[in-house]
Amino acid sequence: MRYFMRLSYRGEGYLGWQIQPQGPTVQGALQDALSRLLHQPIDVTGAGRTDTGVNARMMVAHFDAGDLLPQDLLYRLNAMLGKNIAVQEIWPVAPEAHARFDATERTYRYYVYVGKSPFFWELTWRAVHPLDFEAMNQAAKHLLGRQDFTSFSKLHTQVKTNICDIRKAQWVQQTEDIWYFEISADRFLRNMVRAIVGTLVDVGRHKIAPDEVRAIIERKDRCSAGTSMPGYALYLWQINYK
């Protein structure tokens, strides 16, 4: 029987979602815990693949197991996973349901702190220099729509296309000192959001003009875009299904 699970995690200490031979991953931690608790090999498939250090407010995954799960599985699973992974819900779904392929939209947020605080430095990126968020929002408008985002993709990835449909891209002020960039699309490329944020930060520092983002997209050249931002301030925020 197939089950979906909803979880969240802090990316610190993990080499991203997908299992890697070099070290611990979120997918690996889940598979190991479920396999031990259910006494059978369990494969977990996620709705996406977050990079090293990236957080998830919401991740959805599926796995196959027997018809009857232990009633205390959720409690025991969370106890085994430790403090940086939390599973909120597990529920049965149709056998053909797929956490990745059935998702219609994903949303990420990148958090920026424009002041200085001893409490936020591990979970937000501190902007040491002033940023022009109005110009950054003007630049973000060029991202909207179905386009080829090769300029913001990690090189040499095994994907069939770099075309994505971005439906929302906007900087939002949450408090006096905290801003976040929210971006929603049907799919994302590896390193895409952090490369986009790095480019928009260049706009905010007046290193490039807002309209230059259009030219960067059209070049389809990663070297023309900005530096990739640190992963610890990035969050997989929401996943939508039909």
Angle at which helix 212-219 crosses helix 192-204, to 10 degrees, equals 150
Separation of CA 165 from chain center = 16
Distance between CA 1 and CA 3 in Å, rounded? 7
Do 147 and 163 contact (CB within 8 A), yes or no?
A: yes
Do 5 and 51 contact (CB within 8 A), yes or no?
A: no
Distance between CA 132 and CA 109 in Å, rounded? 18
**Is 51 among the residues known to form the active site?**
yes
First to last CA, the chain: 21
Q: Which of 51, 72, 148, 165 is catalytic?
A: 51
Q: Based on the number of CB atoms within 10 Å of its own CB, is 69 exposed (0-12), middle (13-18) or buried (19 or more)?
A: middle
Distance between CA 170 and CA 66 in Å, rounded? 43
The residues annotated with a catalytic role in the active site are 51
